[in-house]
Amino acid sequence: MKIFEITHIMKGVTMVERVEADTKMQARSVLTSHYKRQLDLVSVELVEESEVA
């Protein structure tokens, strides 16, 4: 699993959230389904990648 830091704007406020997912697209999907609407995404950056033993 990877941890992505997603910066988005909601109601004029810039928010930064961390999401655990396998890909950038999945990370975006997690937030979109959480807020039940399209988000104005500013960036999606990989923060950490864990290794599976």
Task: Provide the pLDDT for residue 52.
Answer: 63
Task: Provide the pLDDT for residue 7.
Answer: 93
Task: Provide the pLDDT for residue 26.
Answer: 93
pLDDT one-digit tens code per residue, 1-53: 899 999 998 888 999 999 999 999 999 898 888 888 777 888 888 898 877 65
Q: What are phi and psi of 38, to 5 degrees?
A: -70, 145
Rounded CA-CA distance 9/28 in Å is 13
Beta bridge partners of 15: 8
Rounded CA-CA distance 46/48 in Å is 6
Task: Provide the pLDDT for residue 53.
Answer: 52
Let me know the angle formed at the C-alpha of 21 by 15 and 23, rounded to the nearest 5 degrees. Answer: 100
